[in-house]
């Protein structure tokens, strides 16, 4: 790879082009491998596709660009505090609509920090939900027989099966 | 609009508090079998231990137990435990991986998971009596409960220490219970006498007590470790910095995942030593010093319970009735009041887990894993595809 390259271009699964700086791309292992490979050399015209939709990829790149300076140089305590606050703001999003997509993208792109953050955010959102709310979000059908429901009701008083 | 793959559902569920996980068992059959699997139970436990979350604070008051969610410290709730107490105090013998070992006046012992309400009564063990009990005898019993990862077994140790006050001699008999075999056996005698009837502290695969070699006033106290894998005793070297100093009272405790040694100097000052890396003497470090003050009063009985989630504070119990945070950065103490907390407390920290008070045989486990795998594959083939 030529050392003059500072940003790379990738395609989302919807076919849109995105630019991501090299230092930010290094937060993802697969992107890092691509960087080390020939994918982004000057004489290569082909733009690699990332199997993540545009809406999600925008957020993933936003996260990478924010976290890249710290990941590359280390940071003071106050920076870490600031970043933590930024993460909380960043994660204020709809579970179904985007959070699950980000979680899958972080998993696919091997981004440990984002994966951890998305998992914890999802868990924090889910912990107070009722069973019916969970079924709705995960498109789950209640497949318990009436006897099993009776048994579960005894084990977990106050659970609804609607 | 996409559904989350099962692998990721598994990971997200493992980060939930026990209460939520148990509720979500009612979602569907697949989730129920996922949550009930031993793989999930151990993954959930490991996650709670690693992130210092899901901790429960248990207070014993006479025959009752009260529980507080340590992450929120909101309200103390009385919980119904499985032992009859007949108006006598209940004893907490130890806790490990969410299992609490409790004992009543009749010496019935129960292994109990207070999150799942499952319990098991342990086979009764008659209390030893020394045959030649004509001289002035005094007996102390100490218990300890822990996990042996080598044989994947939970073990309860009982040390019965008989002291002859005339001849200043003693004898310490040791019995060990294994959950896997559901039986007790005698093991080698312990060449030390227990200094207090405290519960054994489980750290690094071993149980720890403060003991003495000789019943003489100038005989120094030491820490003994009972290795649950090899089932033998060994001495734990004290911090080098202490030298031959023995003008303090020694106590052991669990703090975070580390062995903590408290050196109490005449109830006016307590040094908290922590062995950062278990088994490495050079990693003992003086974490902080607590000094007597008008607010705290005399430091007669001090017990560290846990670190705060960010690790910057230590939760302390004083005189079995007061709770404080000690801030490691600015060295300040702050008093904590928990609504509906009993007046006299005997606090223990315990991780909330799904671990059952029973061990499945290895064959059952293999069978269960095969079935879980089949079920998962069937589910995935139904139209779930991981985008890669």
Q: For residue range B230-251, list pLDDT tens digits in order.
A: 999 999 999 999 888 888 999 9
C-beta separation of B366 from B37 below 8 A? no
Residue B99 domain flag: yes
| Residue A3 clears pLDDT 60, i.e. is over it | no
Residue A120 domain flag: yes
Interface of A with B (CB under 8 A): 51, 96-97, 100-101, 103-104, 107-108, 119-120, 122-123, 126-131, 134-135, 138-144, 152, 155-156, 159, 161
- Report CB contact under 8 Å: A140, B28: yes
Both B321 and B366 in one domain: the answer is no
| Residue A146 clears pLDDT 70, i.e. is over it | yes
- Report CB contact under 8 Å: A131, B22: no
DSSP state letter for B241: G
| Residue A1 clears pLDDT 60, i.e. is over it | no
Q: Say what the pLDDT of residue B255 is.
A: 95
SS3 of residue B209 by DSSP: strand
Confidence bin at A75 (pLDDT 50/70/90):
low
Both B257 and B327 in one domain: the answer is yes
C-beta separation of B194 from B159 below 8 A? yes
- B249-283 residue pLDDT tens: 999 999 999 999 999 999 999 999 999 999 999 99
**What domain range includes position A72?**
7-128
Both B78 and B217 in one domain: the answer is yes
Q: Which residues of B touch A94 (CB under 8 A)?
A: none
Instruction: Count A/B contacts: CB-CB distance under 8 Å.
Output: 73
SS3 of residue B351 by DSSP: strand
CA–CA separation, B213 and B189 (whole Å): 13
Residue B41 domain flag: no
Work out the mean pLDDT of chain B and round it to a whole number.
88
Both B271 and B236 in one domain: the answer is yes
Both B282 and B362 in one domain: the answer is no
Residue B200 domain flag: yes
Residue A38 domain flag: yes
Residue A117 domain flag: yes
Q: Say what the pLDDT of residue B378 is.
A: 61
- Record the pTM: 0.85
| Residue B136 clears pLDDT 60, i.e. is over it | no
Count of domains for chain B: 2
Residue B69 domain flag: yes
- Report CB contact under 8 Å: A141, B387: no
Both B208 and B147 in one domain: the answer is yes
Q: pLDDT: is B169 or A70 the higher one?
A: B169
Residue A18 domain flag: yes
| Residue B127 clears pLDDT 50, i.e. is over it | yes
DSSP state letter for B334: E
- Report CB contact under 8 Å: A139, B3: yes
**What domain range includes position B264?**
47-351
Both B203 and B290 in one domain: the answer is yes
- A87-113 residue pLDDT tens: 999 998 877 778 999 999 999 999 999
Q: Which residues of A touch B23 (CB under 8 A)?
A: 130-131, 156, 159
C-beta separation of B222 from B235 below 8 A? yes
* Chain B contact probe: residue of A96, A120, A138, A142 with most B CBs at under 10 A: A138
The CATH number of the domain where B236 resides is what? 2.120.10.80
Both B6 and B78 in one domain: the answer is no
C-beta separation of B89 from B105 below 8 A? yes
CB atoms within 10 A of CB B66: 20
Q: Say what the pLDDT of residue B227 is.
A: 96
Q: What is the mean pLDDT of residues B289-307?
A: 92
Both B190 and B294 in one domain: the answer is yes
Q: Say what the pLDDT of residue B13 is.
A: 96
The CATH number of the domain where A46 resides is what? 3.30.710.10
Residue B42 domain flag: no
Q: Which residues of A touch B17 (CB under 8 A)?
A: 127
CA–CA separation, A46 and A24 (whole Å): 20
| Residue B384 clears pLDDT 50, i.e. is over it | no
Q: Which residues of B touch A126 (CB under 8 A)?
A: 12, 16, 20
Confidence bin at A152 (pLDDT 50/70/90):
confident
Count of domains for chain A: 1
Tell me the Ramachandran region of residue B319: left when phi exceeds 0, alpha when psi lies from -120 to 50, beta otherwise: left
What interface predicted TM-score (ipTM) does this complex get? 0.87
Residue A155 domain flag: no
- Report CB contact under 8 Å: A140, B4: no
Q: Which of B2, B5, B20 is opposite residue A126, by nearest beta carbon?
A: B20
CA–CA separation, A108 and B366 (whole Å): 30
Both B252 and B376 in one domain: the answer is no
Residue A24 domain flag: yes
Both B14 and B71 in one domain: the answer is no
Q: Say what the pLDDT of residue B8 is.
A: 94
Residue A107 domain flag: yes
Both B223 and B307 in one domain: the answer is yes
Residue B372, C-beta contacts closer than 8 angstroms, at least 6 positions apart: B33, B34, B37, B39
């Amino acid at each position: 790879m030529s050392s003059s390259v500072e940003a790379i271009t990738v395609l989302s699964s919807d076919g849109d082009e995105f630019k991501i700086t090299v230092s930010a791309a290094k937060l993802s292992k697969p992107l890092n491998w691509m960087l080390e490979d020939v994918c982004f050399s000057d004489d290569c015209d082909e733009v690699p596709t990332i199997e993540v939709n545009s809406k999600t990829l925008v957020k993933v790149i936003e996260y990478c660009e924010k976290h890249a300076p710290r990941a590359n140089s280390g940071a003071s305590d106050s920076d870490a505090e600031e970043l933590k606050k930024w993460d909380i703001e960043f994660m204020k999003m709809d579970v179904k609509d985007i959070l699950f997509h980000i979680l899958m993208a972080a998993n696919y792109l091997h981004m440990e920090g984002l994966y951890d953050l998305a998992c914890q955010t999802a868990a924090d959102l889910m912990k107070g939900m009722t069973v019916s709310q969970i079924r709705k979000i995960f498109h789950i059908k209640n497949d318990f027989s009436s006897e099993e429901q009776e048994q579960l009701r005894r084990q977990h008083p106050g659970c609804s099966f609607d | 609009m996409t559904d989350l793959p099962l692998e990721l559902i598994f990971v997200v569920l493992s980060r939930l508090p026990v209460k939520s996980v148990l509720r979500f068992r009612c979602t569907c059959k697949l989730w129920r079998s996922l949550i009930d699997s031993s793989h999930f139970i151990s993954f959930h436990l490991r996650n709670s231990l690693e992130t210092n979350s899901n901790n429960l604070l248990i207070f014993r008051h006479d025959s009752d137990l009260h529980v507080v969610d340590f992450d929120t410290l909101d309200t103390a709730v009385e919980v119904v435990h499985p032992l009859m107490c007949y108006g006598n105090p209940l004893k907490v013998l130890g806790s490990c991986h969410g299992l609490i070992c409790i004992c009543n006046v009749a010496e019935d012992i129960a292994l109990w998971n207070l999150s799942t309400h499952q319990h098991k009564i342990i086979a009764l063990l008659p209390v030893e009596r020394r045959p030649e009990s004509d001289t002035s005898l005094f007996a102390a019993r100490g218990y300890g409960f822990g996990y042996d990862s080598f044989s994947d077994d939970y073990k309860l140790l009982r040390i019965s220490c008989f002291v002859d006050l005339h001849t200043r001699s003693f004898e310490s008999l040791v019995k060990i219970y294994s959950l896997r075999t559901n039986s007790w056996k005698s093991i080698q005698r312990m060449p030390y006498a227990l200094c207090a009837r405290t519960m054994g502290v489980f750290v690094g695969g071993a149980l720890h007590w403060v003991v003495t070699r000789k019943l003489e006033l100038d005989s120094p106290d030491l820490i003994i470790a009972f290795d649950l894998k090899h089932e033998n005793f060994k001495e734990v070297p004290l911090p080098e910095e202490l030298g031959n100093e023995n003008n303090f009272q020694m106590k052991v405790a669990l703090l975070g995942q580390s062995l903590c040694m408290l050196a109490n100097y005449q109830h006016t000052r307590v040094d908290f030593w922590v062995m950062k890396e278990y088994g490495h003497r050079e990693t003992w470090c003086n974490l902080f010093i607590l000094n007597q003050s008008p607010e705290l009063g005399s430091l007669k009985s001090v017990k560290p319970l846990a670190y705060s989630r960010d690790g910057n504070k230590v939760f302390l119990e004083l005189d079995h009735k007061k709770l404080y945070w000690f801030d490691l950065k600015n060295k300040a103490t702050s008093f904590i009041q928990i609504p509906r907390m009993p007046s006299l407390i005997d606090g223990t920290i315990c991780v909330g887990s799904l671990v059952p008070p029973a061990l499945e045989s290895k064959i059952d486990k293999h069978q269960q894993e095969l079935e879980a795998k089949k079920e998962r594959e069937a589910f995935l083939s139904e139209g779930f595809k991981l985008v890669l």
